[in-house]
Amino acid sequence: MSTSDDNAKQISPEAAGDDAAASSSEIKNKEQGNGFGGPVTLFFILGFAVSLILGWVIAPEMLYSQKKQPIDYNHALHVAEVGDGCESCHFFRADGTFSGVPKLELCVDCHEEVQGEDPNEIKFVEEYVVKEREVPWLIYSKQPDCVFFSHAAHIKGAQMDCVTCHGHIGESETSRVYEENRITGYSRDIWGKNIAGFKKNSWDRMKMDDCAECHQKEFTVQRTDVKTPINRLLDNFIAVSFPGMEAPAGIGDSVQTQRDACFVCHK
Ligand code: HEC
Ligand code: HEC
Ligand code: HEC
Ligand code: HEC
Ligand code: HEC
């Protein structure tokens, strides 16, 4: 800003000899002092605002594509309808594996026919139940294929709450949109809502570093042996059969710095 002001002062004597119109405008500039500074400042502020909006609002919007769940699903309504809470639909099988999102067979008892007037229910019954097609639900927390994750270890073993990792999906009345990173294909629940990386709640993000927030403290040396798939099955089986059995206390190292430790969470 001061540069443009200086320029104005330097040019004005020459300009005065050449062109009357120009000189009068230079004189005006001199009188106003900041004649160029004002617009330049404004231009700078506008440009700054535009780039902020581009970087913080438009770029993230462009980075993520939005997909709707095939059917809008009301968790709150269903949790009240079923007998066993979350476990009615998200349960552990005897071998320790987790059912995940329920299959159609769990819904047909109540939805063989349309019960109410809800357009979502009608769509669900007509498009899926009658045609015996599984609903292609989008998984918000889907990890890349190279990651091994065990619900049994966390829920039965470490007695953790669903909310810690998933937030309040279990109490929600509608399915929120699923956002997919166009470049990596990751769900936004993995990479986080906030591109600056701020994290308010434990469920805001589920990247490797977020697993490590717990795993560096609680999840220690004894458990970092590389497991064969059979051992992993056995671990899940034990966790489900003897819930609450804590892991043996470790020596306190970070899993991620141990030799082979990567293969605790990676396949
Ligand atoms: C009647 C069956 C049923 C019950 C009971 C139920 N859910 Fe669900 N749940 C579903 C279906 C269907 C989906 C897939 C649709 C969706 O994501 O909204 C789902 C999805 C989820 C997801 C999303 C997983 C992901 O990453 O996409 C979470 C988390 C979840 N349920 C937690 C809970 C919790 C916590 C409870 C108990 C408070 C619960 N559910 C009770 C049927 C059920
Ligand atoms: C215990 C019985 C029961 C089970 C099991 C059940 N539902 Fe429902 N569901 C209901 C009732 C009751 C309603 C409310 C009916 C109405 O008024 O439309 C409902 C409503 C719905 C609706 C419309 C409201 C909404 O959520 O947007 C959808 C869609 C639906 N159910 C899907 C499912 C799916 C998918 C499953 C299997 C994972 C399932 N239901 C399992 C009893 C059940
Ligand atoms: C320690 C964190 C953690 C806790 C606690 C947790 N989950 Fe998950 N959940 C995950 C992760 C990570 C995935 C993705 C797994 C993958 O993609 O391999 C997931 C996936 C799911 C899915 C989708 C599975 C599928 O692909 O069909 C459902 C449904 C779900 N969780 C429900 C629950 C419920 C219900 C609870 C509580 C009983 C719970 N979770 C507790 C981290 C957690
Ligand atoms: C809130 C804390 C917490 C978070 C977040 C968490 N974990 Fe865990 N995890 C634990 C605890 C506690 C155990 C049980 C320790 C044990 O059994 O040794 C465990 C156990 C495991 C096991 C079982 C290891 C075995 O040998 O049986 C795996 C694998 C695992 N976690 C992977 C993950 C991954 C992948 C993530 C991120 C998506 C994650 N965890 C997020 C606390 C957490
Ligand atoms: C506590 C569990 C855990 C441990 C231990 C761990 N990872 Fe990961 N890692 C994850 C999860 C969850 C993801 C997926 C989310 C992400 O990209 O941050 C991931 C993603 C990655 C990716 C990116 C893969 C992709 O497809 O985007 C690389 C590379 C990776 N890990 C390398 C390592 C190495 C090397 C080690 C050992 C030093 C290691 N990880 C140990 C949980 C773990």
Give the tens place of pLDDT for each residue, 63-108. 889 999 999 999 999 999 998 999 999 999 999 999 999 999 999 9
- Cα of 93 from ligand 5 centre, angstroms: 27
Residues 162, 247, single domain; the answer is yes
Ligand nearest to the CA of 122: 2
Any atom of ligand 3 within 6 Å of the Cβ of 135: no
Any atom of ligand 2 within 6 Å of the Cβ of 118: yes
* Structural domains in the chain (count): 2
Q: What is the average pLDDT value for the chain, to the nearest integer?
A: 79
Atom of ligand 5 nearest to the CA of 211: 1
Q: Domain boundary at 22, 47, 65, which?
A: 65
Atom of ligand 1 nearest to the CA of 165: 29
pLDDT value of position 215: 78
Any atom of ligand 3 within 6 Å of the Cβ of 165: yes
Residue 144 belongs to some domain of the structure: yes
Any atom of ligand 2 within 6 Å of the Cβ of 245: no
Residue 146 belongs to some domain of the structure: yes
Residue 114 belongs to some domain of the structure: no
Atom of ligand 5 nearest to the CA of 190: 15
Residue 86 belongs to some domain of the structure: no
Q: Residue 181 sits in which domain range?
A: 139-265
Distance of CA 93 to the CA centre of its chain: 28
pTM of the model: 0.82
**Total length of the chain:** 267
Any atom of ligand 3 within 6 Å of the Cβ of 100: yes
Residue 84 belongs to some domain of the structure: no
Residue 165 belongs to some domain of the structure: yes
Q: Comparing 11-15, 76-80, 160-164, 238-242, which segment has the lowest mean pLDDT?
A: 11-15
Atom of ligand 1 nearest to the CA of 135: 12
Any atom of ligand 4 within 6 Å of the Cβ of 235: yes
Residue nearest (by alpha carbon) to ligand 5 atom 9: 208
Task: Report pLDDT digits (tens) over 208-243.
Answer: 888 888 876 444 444 445 667 787 788 788 888 877
Residue 110 belongs to some domain of the structure: no
Residues 146, 243, single domain; the answer is yes
pLDDT value of position 26: 46
Residue 156 belongs to some domain of the structure: yes
Residues 46, 149, single domain; the answer is no
